[in-house]
């Protein structure tokens, strides 16, 4: 450890999900960090409480002198907020000038998704939707608690696994949890949300041809892999691609083949397109039933060409 380093320790308290506590190493056996809601300077022993101290690596960060100036400028501050201004926010700001907390980012992402989801005008039963979303948040919180416990025991493998689900565009760990829990409708809507978010089209809620052509293949492969894994190869873009090609489908949209494809994957019944709420949100749905995404529609053909 050296002066100006961003350091952290893993904490485990009964009844509380595992978390990490962060601070700035002053290089003189003291640390500046949030303690009991106040940014203060304590001994490194008081900071670590006997736990192993880890150093947070940075590809780009400011000089140790600037890091220390920032850290010391906020001594005495008592504006702690778990979601928006926690110890990790403070430490990353000292290092880079930008606040970020990786341990709460997934929860912020899912809250953004819920907000986006609630904006549909056709949503009538808001209370049922809110209750459902609260139940999902509890499941996500439990899953992250279990992941953190596993990470403490098997730090390197867990970090490698999580890194494969996080791109520069989106954090797909939430999608994995929804699929693992069998929340098929929420996972399907999150898939559409993530794809729109990647392209900065979440406000418009639809894809243009240029968006499809420029969609990152890395993200599409992650989405497909998760759907395949947790549906036992029943759902996923690659499953849909095989069905579409078996019907003679090519990259260009063809109305008759699209109708046959929609019938095959269960998006139509008696030649009539089903409403989104009429889909089968379960593992017993027809092969290729998901991702549907509500707003992906026939644009899915363009995405199949990327797989």
**How do residues 239-267 score in pLDDT, each as one tens digit?**
999 999 999 987 777 888 888 999 999 99
Q: What pLDDT does residue 157 have?
A: 43
Contact assessment for residue 143 and residue 177, using Cβ atoms and an 8 Å cutoff: yes
pLDDT confidence band for 203 (50 / 70 / 90): confident
User: Above 60 in pLDDT, residue 63?
Assistant: yes
Domain with CATH 3.90.1720.10 in the chain: 6-96
Give yes or no for residue 140 having a pLDDT over 80: no
Q: Average pLDDT for residues 53-82, to the nearest whole number?
A: 91
What is the sign of the dihedral through the CA atoms of 211, 217, 218 and 223? positive
If you average pLDDT over residues 187-211, what whole number do you get?
A: 88
- Top-confidence range, 200-214, 229-243, 272-286: 229-243
Q: How far apart are CA 273 and CA 292, in angstroms?
A: 13
Residue 139 has pLDDT above 80, yes or no: no
What was the pLDDT predicted at 187? 92
Write down the pTM of the prediction: 0.59
Q: What is the mean pLDDT of residues 23-37?
A: 94
Return the pLDDT at 25.
Answer: 97
What pLDDT is recorded for position 274? 87
Give the model's confidence band at 291: pLDDT under 50 very low, under 70 low, under 90 confident, else very high: very high
- Whole-number pLDDT of residue 133: 66
Tell me phi and psi for residue 18, to 5 degrees: -60, 145
Between 54 and 211, the more confident residue is: 54
Average pLDDT over residues 215-243: 94
Q: What pLDDT score was predicted for residue 119?
A: 65
Percent of the chain whose predicted confidence (pLDDT) is above 90: 46
- Choose the most confident range, by mean pLDDT, from 107-121, 214-228, 270-284: 214-228
**What is the reported pLDDT for 147?**
59
Residue 101's closest CA among 219, 17, 8? 8
Residue 237 has pLDDT above 90, yes or no: yes
Residue 93 pLDDT level (bands cut at 50, 70, 90):
very high
Q: Which fold has domain 6-96?
A: endopeptidase fold (from Nostoc punctiforme) (3.90.1720)
CA atoms 44, 46, 50, 54: torsion sign? negative
Q: Does residue 23 register a pLDDT over 50?
A: yes
Q: What is the mean pLDDT of the chain?
A: 83
| pLDDT for 160 | 37
Starting at the edge strand found earlier in the chain, the sheet holding 30-35 runs: 38-43, 30-35, 16-25, 6-13, 54-55
C-alpha 101/C-alpha 289 separation (Å) is 36
Q: What does the chain come to in residues?
A: 307
Q: How far apart are CA 79 and CA 71, in angstroms?
A: 14
Q: Say yes or no to pLDDT of 7 above 70.
A: yes
Q: What per-residue confidence (pLDDT) applies to 87?
A: 94
DSSP string for residues in the chain? --TT-EEEEEEEETTEEEEEEEEEE-SSSEEEEEETTEEEEEEHHHHHTTSPPEE---SS---HHHHHHHHHHTTT----BTTTB-HHHHHHHHHHSS---TTTHHHHHHHHHHHHHHT-TT---HHHHHHHHHHHHHHHHHHHHHHHHHHHHSHHHHHHHHHTTB-SS-BTHHHHHHHHTT-HHHHHHHHHHHHHHHTT-TTTTS--HHHHHT--HHHHHHHHHHHHHHHTSSSSHHHHHHHHHHTT--SS--HHHHHHHHHHTTSEETTEEPPGGGS--STTSPTT----TTTTGGGHHHHHTT-
- Rounded distance, CA 213 to CA 288, Å? 22
Higher pLDDT, 235 or 255: 235
Which one has a higher pLDDT value, 113 or 287? 287
Q: Are 25 and 44 in contact (CB under 8 A)?
A: yes
């Amino acid at each position: 450890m050296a002066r100006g380093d961003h350091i952290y320790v893993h904490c485990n308290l009964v009844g509380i999900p595992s978390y990490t506590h962060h601070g700035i190493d002053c290089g003189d056996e003291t640390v500046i960090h949030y303690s009991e809601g106040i940014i203060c300077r304590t001994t490194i022993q008081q900071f670590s409480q006997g736990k192993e101290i880890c150093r947070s690596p940075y590809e780009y960060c400011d000089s140790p002198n600037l890091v220390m100036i920032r850290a010391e400028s906020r001594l005495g501050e008592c504006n702690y907020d778990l979601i928006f201004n926690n110890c990790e926010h403070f430490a990353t700001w000292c290092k880079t000038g930008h606040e970020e907390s990786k341990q709460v980012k997934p929860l912020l992402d899912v809250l953004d998704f819920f907000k986006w989801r609630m904006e549909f005008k056709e949503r009538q039963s808001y209370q049922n939707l809110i209750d459902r979303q609260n139940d999902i948040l509890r499941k996500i919180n439990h899953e992250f608690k279990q992941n953190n416990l596993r990470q403490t025991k098997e730090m390197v493998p867990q970090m490698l696994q999580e890194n494969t689900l996080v791109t520069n565009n989106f954090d797909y760990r939430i999608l994995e949890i929804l699929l693992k829990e069998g929340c098929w409708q929420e996972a399907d809507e999150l898939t559409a949300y993530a794809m729109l978010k990647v392209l900065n089209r979440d406000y418009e809620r639809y894809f243009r041809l240029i968006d499809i052509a420029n969609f990152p293949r890395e993200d599409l492969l992650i989405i497909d892999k998760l759907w395949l894994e947790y549906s036992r190869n029943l759902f996923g873009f690659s499953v849909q691609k095989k069905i579409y090609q078996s019907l003679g489908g090519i990259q260009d949209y063809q109305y008759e083949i699209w109708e046959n494809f929609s019938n095959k994957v269960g998006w139509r019944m008696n030649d009539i397109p089903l409403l989104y709420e009429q889909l089968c949100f379960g593992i017993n749905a027809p092969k290729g039933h998901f991702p549907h995404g509500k707003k992906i529609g026939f644009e899915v053909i363009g995405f199949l060409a990327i797989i």
